[in-house]
Amino acid sequence: MRFVSWNVNGLRAASGKGFSEAFLALDADFFCLQETKLQAGQLDLAFPGYESFWNYADKKGYSGTAVYTRHTPLSVRYGMGIDVHDHEGRVITLEYPGFFLVTVYTPNSQDGLRRLDYRMTWEDDFRAFLLGLDAVKPVIFCGDLNVAHEEIDIRNPKANHMNSGFTDEERGKMTQLLDSGFIDTFRTLHPDLVKYSWWSYRFQAREKNVGWRIDYFITSARLRDKIAEAEIHNEIFGSDHCPVELVLND
């Protein structure tokens, strides 16, 4: 089974930058999107053989997630069931016989870390949400987690220390999540590989490869032996992020 995740930073914009071509070329069973920035009815983008599920933010042009899938889920859940978190369209959960698939767009702590306290609450609640799922069956979750976990995951760690996405608090929450029974699939297969999934639009960052790895596929640790591939497609453009991929053996 092939899974792809991509923060498209506005699906309408990405659709004019080769999104459909990349979607078809990646040929995924499950294609998860973050930061769609859509409301219902604003874009009709269907692909033969795929169903799609959408979670829209209350605020127009903000956040939002989606999943295209070739496999009809047993159930679909939007959000975490916690009102304070469920107005920004950040989480979709699809249930299948053997696993839950969750796509997530984690809140950014923002400039000046003005949303860091909220982010810490989100992290605790989202971890509890995942652990509740994991108690039922294995979990595969993906998305823009808005954190570079280790120094290897960011081009300039010293200069960015305590900036949004590379604070000790955010990195600590990622460690806590992984220690609770989950694995970072890319780092599991590629412990020393330096590869990024996001680059600022400023200062020619992508051309210079001054990037961050903040897009992940994370799974329940008990799926470790099923992981066949974990890739970052930094050859694909169309957003300030690139797609990331996970392949699991059936």
**What amino acid is encoded at 40 in this protein?**
A
* Token digits of residue 60: 């127009």
Q: Is 68 a catalytic residue?
A: no
Q: Sort strands 100-105 and 91-95 into parallel, antiparallel or unpaired.
A: antiparallel
Catalytic member of 56, 105, 196, 216? 105
Q: Which residue has the tokens 């459909």?
A: 20
CA 9 to chain centroid:
12
Catalytic member of 56, 68, 134, 144? 144
Q: Is 58 a catalytic residue?
A: no
Active centre residues (catalytic) = 105, 144
